[in-house]
Amino acid sequence: MAKLCIALDTNLQQAKDLVRSLRGYPLLFKVGYKLFICHHRAITDYIKEEGFELFLDLKLHDIPNTVKEGVLSAKELGADYLTIHISAGKSALRSAVEVKGKLKLLGVTLLTSLDDEDIQDIGFCRDREGQVFHLTELALKEGFDGIVCSGKELSYLKEKASKPFIAVVPGVRLEGDPVEDQKRVVSLEEALSAGADIIVMGRSILRAENPVKRVEEILLKL
């Protein structure tokens, strides 16, 4: 059964209210730049105290020692999952794995806000699936626990990857939801069919008239 991860891309009070209202539900909460930069432990400690897993979405991308120190800091916060850009390179990935302990490291392949034209602009020589597969294999060979990718590439990765991995799929939309700044989006059903282990959803829940009811509806489909 896939897990539902709620992206808390909102203000501190709304985030804490939502976490509290969902106490006891089988969820994990993702904290990204919006909350982490301003509020740090005020939200990460709160999530842990309420009994949820903490998904720290910082997408580390730096020199090996800096990435290593970031992993150590994430462990101090009690994070259960941490994202790192695979394009930081083999040495940075290896440094992260050396100190991760029980922390699950998730390698970011290509952001779901990028389409084929964007990928060409960046200068990648491989096609989209080939690039995502290459990055996935790099991360898995260095000991990463999972991969963050669009549901559009996941079936291919599940079939071709050299070892099993935790598949994290962002950019998931419910019927009628606006796509906005995302480009390689999939429906909930498509993500599950492709083999997603963790479904990341934010705006579909945060903007719902009744977020708790929306979460309950989604959980019934997992």
pLDDT in tens, 144-191: 999 999 999 999 999 999 999 999 999 898 876 666 666 678 899 999
Cβ atoms of 109 and 138 closer than 8 Å: no
Residue 179 confidence (pLDDT)? 60
Instruction: Decide: residue 108, CB within 10 A, 0-12 exposed, 13-18 middle, 19+ buried.
Output: buried
Tokens of residue 89, six digits: 């390179």
Q: Is 59 a catalytic residue?
A: yes
Share of the chain above pLDDT 90, in %: 82
> Where are the domains positioned within the chain?
3-221
In whole angstroms, what separates CA 29 from the centre of its chain? 10
Structure tokens at 29: 């909460």
- The one catalytic residue among 34, 48, 59, 158: 59
pTM (global) more than 0.75 = yes
**Burial code of 170-202, b = ≥16 C-beta within 10 A, e = fewer?**
bbbbbeebeeeebbbbbebebbbebebbbbbbb
Q: Of 15-19, 124-128, 176-180, 182-186, give the lowest mean pLDDT range.
A: 176-180
As a CATH number, domain 3-221 is 3.20.20.70
Please state the separation of Cα 222 from the chain's center in Å.
17
Tens-digit pLDDT profile for residues 74-92: 999 999 999 999 999 999 9
